[in-house]
Amino acid sequence: LARLNFIWKGFINMPSVAKFVIKAYPVSGSFEYLMEDLPDSIQVGGRISPHTVWEYVEKIKASGTKEICVVRFTPVTEEDQISYALLFAYFSSRKRYGVAANNMKQVKDLYLIPLGSSDKVPHHLVPFDGPG
């Protein structure tokens, strides 16, 4: 990630669980609107089952009118890493994904998907289009 430019820097906040500074790096899709639309702080409003997310993603892909962007979030400091790990453990242990509660203009839905370093990327998201 050191050679990649991050496209966003801000907070991820899930009250009573964790709040930390994070950078978003491009993985797949177009990020022009994403950079403009993401707020200073992404508020995590709750959790959702992976099955529900993937059903929705398949509908979006089938419509051909919406775009899916994938980013990788990385904590900024060692202190942020601790809070990041807490939020990861919160979702991972419950087998749930996070849902952003912010209302954004271009970004309709934002999900936080906890992937461990050895986890495979969900097949619904591949193949990647590459950033840009």
Which residues sit opposite 11 in a β-bridge?
A: 21, 41
Residue 130 pLDDT greater than 80, yes or no: no
Residue 82 pLDDT greater than 90, yes or no: yes
Joined tokens for residue 71: 């980013």
Q: CA separation (Å) from 55 to 6, 14, 35, 49, 66?
A: 29, 25, 26, 10, 15
Residue 1 pLDDT greater than 80, yes or no: no
pLDDT band at 2 (very low <50, low <70, confident <90, very high): low
Joined tokens for residue 82: 């601790």
Query: Residue ranges per domain, the chain?
Result: 8-125
pLDDT at position 111 is 96
DSSP class of residue 105 equals S
For the chain, give the percent of residues with pLDDT over 70.
96
Helical ranges in 21-129 per DSSP H: 32-37, 50-63, 78-94
pLDDT at position 48 is 98
Residue 54 pLDDT greater than 60, yes or no: yes
Q: Which residue is associated with the tokens 């998201």?
A: 125
The SS3 assignment for 9 reads: strand
For the chain, give the percent of residues with pLDDT over 90.
72
pLDDT, one tens digit per residue, over 99-116 is 999 988 888 899 999 999
Q: Which residue is associated with the tokens 């495979």?
A: 120
How far from each other are the two terminal CA atoms of the chain, in whole angstroms? 16
What is the C-alpha separation between 132 and 129, in angstroms, rounded?
A: 8
Residue 77: how many CB atoms within 10 A of its CB? Answer: 11
Fold annotation for 8-125 = Ku70; Chain: A; Domain 2 (2.40.290)
